[in-house]
Structure 1
Amino acid sequence: MSNQKNRLGIGQNSLKKALNPARLALSVFLFGGVITPSYATINCAGFLPISYFERIKNNPPFMGKLVEQANGRQQLTDLNGNVVIDNLHNAYILMDKYVLAQKNGKYGVVNAAGKIIVPFKYDDIQTEPDIYTSFIVSVGSSEGNTKQGIINRHGGWVYPLADVGIQHAHYDADYDQDYFLVTNNFATNDKGLTGLLDDRGYWAVMPQYEIINPLNPCTGQPLYLQVGLQNKTALIDQNNKVIIPFSVNQHIESFNNNVSPLLFLRSRLSDGFASSNAIVMSEDIQENIVSAQIINANGNAVLASDAPIRKLLYHQLYTYKQAGKFGLVNDRGDVILKPEFDGYRDDADTVWLEKNGKMFGLNTLIKSD
C-alpha cells in the first residue's frame, strides 16, 4: 500500500501557452481540407533519438484501408476489402497502428482489426505526433466544463476523467514511456497545482507546483523541468531532485538540447518578474535579464556573464560579458573568444567585433566549421 499515495492523485494544469516554439498548442489542425487529430502540447519531431526510429523501422505496415464512401463517410476494411467498421468520419491512420475517427459525432480509436482502444464517446482526443502511445480524452458538459483523462495504447485508464487539465509532457524513447502534466482544481477558481504523471499512473512529481515547464522532452535524456511556486522558480529533474534551488527573479531554460552534456541557461532577472512568465524564452525577455550563467546537470556554473547570454543569428555561438568586455562561447560551454571586445554587431551571416576602436570580422578571428 505504500505506493498508493503516488498513484492517481489529483492533477495538472493545461498551460495556455505553448511550452516552447517547437511544441504545439492544443488545437485541431487543417491539412489539405482534412481535419487531423488534436495534438497534446509537444511535438517530438526533430527531437527523438535515433534509437527510437531503429526500434520502429521494422514495424509491420497497417493491415487495413480507409475507404471513402459516396456519402462522405469512411469505412475501415481489411486488406481483402471486408468491412471492419463503418460510418466513420474524419478518420485518420496513426503511425500504422491505429485509426482515430469520429463515429456518431464522438471520437474514438481502433486498431486495424477493429478492436476498440478508445470508445467512441469523447468530444476530443489529443495525441502526440510521431508517437501515439497514449490518448488524452475530453468530455464537455452543459455547464461548459471539460473533464479530461488519459487512456493508454492498450485501452486501459492511466488517469480517469476528472476536472483537471492534462498535457503530454515527455516521451522516454529508451523505456517507451509517456509522461503527462496534470493540474488539479482546473475547473474551479482555485489555483491548481501541477504534477508529472507517468503512463502507468504513478506520480514522478506529485502535484505541488504552480508551473511546470519541461525543458528537454523527447531527446533521449532524463527530463528536466523548470518549476514555479510562490513567485520563485527552480530546476528539477523528473525524480523531483532539485538541480538549481528556488529563487525569485530567476529564469531557467535548456541551453543545448542536441549536444552532450546537457547544459542549462540560468538568467537573473530584474525585480518584479513573475514566475508565471517562466515558460517564455529568454530571447523574448532580454530587457529583463541582468546577468546569466551556463549551468551543468549537476547544478554547477560552467560560465558566468554580466549580461544576457545571446545567440548569434547564423552561428552556433553565444555572446557573454565579463568586466565590461564581450566574448564568445559555443553550445558546449567552451570559450571560443575570451572577453576582450568592447562591442559586437550581428549582421546575420557576418558578425563584427570591436576592439580598441577597430572592427574585426568573426571569420578573421576563428576558423569556421
Structure 2
Amino acid sequence: MKGKYLAIVCLLSGGPLSAQQPVIADYLDRFDGEFATVMIARQKQLLHHSGKVLIDKLENISYYRSAVGVKHNAYGAFNDAGKIIAPFKFDDVTIRDEKDEKYPEKNYHFAITRLNGRYGAVDSEGKQLCAPVYNEIDGLSPRLIKIKRDGLWGWADMKTGKVLQSPKYEQVDNSYVRDSTVQITQDGKRGLAAEDGSIIVKPAYESFNYLGYQGSTFFGYTINGKTGIMNKAGHPITPAIYDKCSRGPSPVLFAVTSNDKTGITDAAGKLLLPLQYTRVEGVANAMKAYIGTKCGIIGGTGKEIIPVQYDDIKAFNTAGQEMYDLIISDGNQKEEAAQPYYFMVRKGALTTLFDQTGKQLLPFKYAKTALYAYHDSLYIQVTEQGKTGLLDLQGKTVLPLVYEDLLSGYNDGFSYQDDAAGKDRSDYLPVLKNGNLGLYNVRSGKEMLPPVYNRIRWHNSHILSLSSGDSASMADRSGRVIKAAKKYGFFTAVDTNRIVETQYPDNGTTLCILTDLAGNKLYTNPSWEFKEDTYSRALLPAEERNGHAQFNNGLLKIWGDPRNNVFVDEQGKEVVFENYSFVGDFRNGLALAGKDLSPEHTVYGIINRQQQVVLPVNLNDITTFQDSILMIRQADMKGLIRKDGSILLPVAYERIDKMYGQPYIKVTAKKKEGITDINGKIILPAVYDEVSYYEKAKLFKIEKAGKSGIADAKGNIVIPVLYDEMEVNRSYDNIFPLLVKEGKWFFYLDKDGKPFPYRSLKKKSYND
C-alpha cells in the first residue's frame, strides 16, 4: 500500500512517472491527439502521450509539440518526449517558437518563465538560458532572446544563453533592413547593432527603411524628416535630402523622390536619371515610369529602354499572363522573374510589343497585340480592322489577318479536339471566320480546312472528322475531303486507312459500312450496330478506355451480329471464332472469350489471336479490378489475374477488395481476412476476423478470436493479438498510445508495446 501511495503522490506532482509503480485509476479514456483524460483519486487530469506527465489543465501546445500546462494552480512546461523543461512552480510559462519548413534558418524554440514578477528562459530540453532575474523576456530573432532589466533592454544568445548585450537600450527590435542585425533605440534615436553587440550605426536616426529587396545590402535612413540611402556597413551613399527612397529597376539602383519628382540613383549615390518622373512602379524585372499621363520603362542599367511617351504599358510572360512586380526574394517568384517577358505598349488606339531589352518587335499599326501561346510555340496575335492573325517573334506573318478570332479547345459552342493529332499537332491552328470553325497549317502557310464547320476532331494522326450542323464529313491530314458531307450520319476512323460510315436510311434502319480512304466498300452487315464507344474495354489500359473503337491486331469487332463472335479484318473478310459464343476486342493479341454451357450459364477465359487458350475458359466472370488487374470468379470464389492472363492471386477467396489509394488488397478466405500487396505477395495471411488500415501510421489493426493487435506494413506483429479491447489514438497522424483491455484491466501501450504505469478497471463512459 505504501508503494501505491508514493506513486500517486508522484503522479499528482506532475513529475515523471515510474514504470515500476503502477497507479490504479478511477477510469482511463482513449487518447485524442496529445492527451488522454484520466481520473485518479477522483481528480480528472490530462495524461501526456509520452505517459510521463499529468496535468490539470492544458494552456498551449507549440509547433514543436512542447506543451504548457497547469498543475495545482502552478504553470510548467514539457517537451514532446515528456521531459519537464519548466517544473510546475511558476506563475506563468510561455512557449516562443517558429517552425518554417521552407526556411529552417528562421526556426527557434524556447520557453519563458515568470515567478514573483521575475522572468527567466529555458530551452526545449530544460537547460537554463536566462536566470529568473529579468523584468521581461521575449524573442528577438531566430538566434537571440531580448532581456529587460531596470527599464532597459539587451539580448542573449538563444542557444547558449550567453548575454551578448547587457540591458542598456530603451528598445531593441529585430532589424528588417539588414540581416542578422538588431535595431537599437537610445535617447529616442535609432541605430543598428550586430548580434554580438558591436555598433554598426550609432543611434542617431529617426528610422530605417526597407527598400523593397529582401536580403539587400542597402537600406534607407531618415533624419530630420528627410531620407537617404545607407550601405550594409552603415555608411550613407546619399545624403538625407529626399522625401522618399525605394527600390529601383535592379537591386543596386534606387528610386529617390523629392518635391513629388522621382529619379534613379546608383549604389554610389550618383543620379543616373534626374528627378523628372511623377510616378514609378515595379513591373516584371523593370520599372514603369510616368511623366504626367505618359509612361515608359526603365531597365536594370538605369536607362530608359522604352521612352516615356506612351499611354499604357503592360508586361506579359511567355504563357501570355500579365506580370507585375516580381523582384522579391522568394523561390517561386525568383524562378518566374528569370523567365523571358514582353511589354505590350499602347499609343492612342494602337498597340505593339517590345521585348525585355526594349527592342520594338512590330510597328504601331494594330488595334490589339497579345502573346499567343499554343502548345509549345509562342506567337504574337495581332488585330487590325477587326481581323486577327499571328506573327512570329521576328514580326513575320504566320497566320494572315483574315480571321475573326483564334480558338484553342472549347469555346462558344465550337469544338476542336486534337489529342490524337500526333507529334506535330502544334502546326494546326483552329480559326474562326463568319461564325464558323476552320483549320490553318502554320508549317505550310496554308488554310487546311475552310472555316465552315462547328466541330473538328482528329481521330488519329491521319484523319479528321468534320461537323457542320447535322452534316458530317471527313478529311485527311492535308485537308483533302475523303468523305463528302452527309446528313444524319457520321464517320469514324478505325485505322489510319479504314473508315466506318454509319447511315440512317429513311426506312428507320441503321447501315454500317467499312471503307478504305478511296471510298471502296470493304464490308457491311445488316446486323452490325457500330458505335464508336461500344467495345470490350477490360484489356485496355485506362488511358485508352475513352477512345473510340478501332482495329486491334488487325481485327475489328462486329457488334450486333447474332453470332457474337464475328470480326472483320482490314480487307473486309470476316473472321469468326467458331469455338466460342462470345469474343471481345483484341488487345496485345489477347481477347476475352466466352462459351455458353446453357442459355443461362456462360463461362469465360482469355484466348489469343491464334485461338489458343491463354486462361482456361471455365470462369463464371471476368471484370476489371484495377487498371492492370482483372478479377476472375469461379462459382463463389474469386482470384486476380494480370491482363496477359497470368495469375496474380489464385481463385481461392470469397472476397477481394481494393484499398483505395493504397498499395494493398484485402482478401477473405473462409470468412477470414488478410492483406496482400498489389503484386500478390502475402503481407498478412487470411486468418483474421477483421483487418483495418491506418494510412498515416502505415499500420494494420488485426482482430482474431475476440482479441486485437497491431501489424506493420511488412506484416510484422508490432502489438501481439492479446487484447480484449483496443482503442487507437484519435489523432490523424498517429494511432499510439493505445488504450487496451487485458482481462479485467484497462491500460495504455506505447508504440513499442510497453505499458504506461497505470491501469484501471473502468474505461471512461459517456456519463463520466
TM-score by length of 1: 0.56
Q: Tell me, yes or no, if structure 1 residue 193 matches structure 2 residue 189.
A: yes
Alignment partner, residue 144 of structure 2: 134
Cα 1:106/1:332, change in 2 over 3 Å: farther
1:136-156 C-alpha deviation (Å, 9 max, x unpaired) = 2345x7xxxx43222223323
Matched, 1:180 2:148: no
Q: Which residue of 2 aligns with 1:160?
A: 166
In the TM superposition, what are the counterparts of 1:64-75 in structure 2 within 5 Å? 65-66=66-67, 68=69, 73-75=75-77
1:207 to 187, 203, 209: 203
C-alpha deviation, 1:298, in angstroms: 2.1
Distance in 1 (alpha carbons) for counterparts of 2:277 and 2:246: 16
Query: How many pairs were matched up?
Result: 264
- What does residue 19 of structure 1 align with? none
Contact 1:251 1:267 in 2 (8 A): yes
Q: Kindly tell me: are residues 195 and 65 of structure 1, through their superposed partners in 2, closer, same or farther at Cα, counting changes over 3 Å?
A: closer
- Say which of 126, 142, 153 aligns to 1:148: 153
Equivalent pair of 1:227/1:233 in contact (CA under 8 Å): yes
2: CA distance, partners of 1:218 / 1:151: 25
SS at match of 2:298: strand
Partner of 2:288: 319
Q: Once the two structures are superposed, what CA deviation does each residue of 1:186-225 show, in whole Å capped at 9, x if it has no partner? A: xxxxxx3322111112111122323333546861x43x23
Q: Which runs of 5+ in 2 are unaligned?
A: 1-58, 100-106, 316-320, 324-342, 355-367, 373-377, 379-768
Query: Structure 1, unaligned stretches of length 5 or more?
Result: 1-32, 37-60, 186-191, 270-288
User: Of the two structures, which has the highest relative contact order with CA contacts closer than 8 Å and spacing of 6 or more?
Assistant: 1
Contact 2:85–2:127 under 8 Å retained in 1: no
CA distance in 2, matches of 1:35, 1:353: 54
Q: CA RMSD, aligned part only?
A: 4.3
| Displacement after TM superposition at 1:325 (Å) | 4.5
Gap change, CA 1:229 and 1:98, over 3 Å in 2: same
Find out whether 1:228 has 2:222 as its counterpart. yes
Report whether the alignment pairs 1:111 with 2:123: yes
8 Å Cα contact 1:252/1:266 also seen in 2 = yes
Query: Which of these residues, 349, 358, 362, is aligned with residue 349 of structure 2?
Result: 358
Aligned residue type for 1:125 = D
Contact 2:174–2:182 (CA<8 Å) still a contact in 1? yes
Closer/same/farther in 2, CA of residues 240 and 183 from structure 1, 3 Å limit: same
Aligned partner of 2:586 in structure 1 is none
Question: Counterpart amino acid of 2:231?
Answer: D
Aligned partners of 1:74 and 1:89 also within 8 Å: yes
Q: Which has the higher strand share?
A: 2
1:283 matched to which residue of 2? Answer: none
Contact 2:137 2:148 in 1 (8 A): yes
Q: Spell out, residue by residue over 1:224-279, the C-alpha distance to the aligned partner (whole angstroms, 9 max, x if none).
A: 232223343321223232211232x43212336xx6x432211122xxxxxxxxxx
Larger radius of gyration: 2
Change in CA separation of 1:112 and 1:232 when aligned onto 2, cut-off 3 Å: closer
For residue 339 of structure 1, report the CA deviation from its aligned partner: 2.2
| Aligned with 2:278 (options 300, 308, 314) | 308
Q: Tell me, in whole angstroms, the C-alpha distance in 1 between the residues paired with 2:370 and 2:268.
A: 30
Measure the CA separation in 2 of the matches of 1:316 and 1:366.
19
- 1:181–1:195 CA contact under 8 A, matched in 2: yes
Matched ranges for 1:1-369 at <5 A = 65-66=66-67, 68=69, 73-77=75-79, 79=81, 81-87=82-88, 89-94=93-98, 98-104=109-115, 107-120=119-132, 121-128=134-141, 132-138=142-148, 146-153=151-158, 154-162=160-168, 164-170=170-176, 178-185=180-187, 192-215=188-211, 219=215, 221-222=216-217, 224-247=218-241, 249-255=242-248, 261-269=251-259, 289=260, 291-304=261-274, 306-311=276-281, 315=284, 317-321=286-290, 325-330=294-299, 333=302, 335-341=304-310, 343-344=311-312, 354-355=346-347, 357-360=348-351
Residues 97 and 112 of structure 1 are in contact (CA less than 8 Å); yes or no, is this contact kept in structure 2?
no
Between the aligned partners of 1:117 and 1:308, the Cα distance in structure 2 is 53
CA drift at 1:172:
6.8
Give the 3-state SS of the residue equivalent to 1:306 in structure 2: strand
The residue type paired with residue 191 of structure 2 is G
Q: Does the CA contact (< 8 Å) of 2:246 and 2:254 recur in 1?
A: yes
Q: Give deviations 1:265-299, integer Å, cap 9, x for gaps.
A: 11122xxxxxxxxxxxxxxxxxxx2x212222222
Other-structure match for 1:8: none
CA offsets 1:71-104 (integer angstroms, 9 cap, x no match)? 694422473x343432363324455653233333
- TM-score, length-normalised on structure 2? 0.30
Give the equivalent residue in structure 1 for 2:612.
Answer: none
Q: Deviations over 1:112-154 (max 9, x none)?
A: 33111123434341433xxx11122345x7xxxx432222233
Distance 1:303 1:164 in 2: 41
Q: Please tell me whether the aligned partners of residues 306 and 323 of structure 1 are also in contact (alpha carbons under 8 angstroms).
A: no
Contact 1:78-1:112 at 8 Å conserved across structures: no
Where does residue 16 of structure 2 map in the other structure? none
- Aligned partners of 1:252 and 1:311: how far apart in 2? 13
Greater Cα shift, 344-353 or 106-115: 344-353
The change in CA–CA distance for 1:127 and 1:323 in structure 2 (over 3 A counts) is closer
Aligned to 2:469: none
Equivalent-residue separation in structure 2 for 1:34 and 1:362 (angstroms): 57
Asked whether the 8 Å contact 2:280–2:290 carries over to 1, the reply is no
CA contact (8 A) 2:169 2:184 kept: no
Q: Identify if the C-alpha distance between structure 1 residues 324 and 78 changes in structure 2 by more than 3 Å, giving closer, same or farther.
A: closer
Percent identity of equivalent pairs: 16
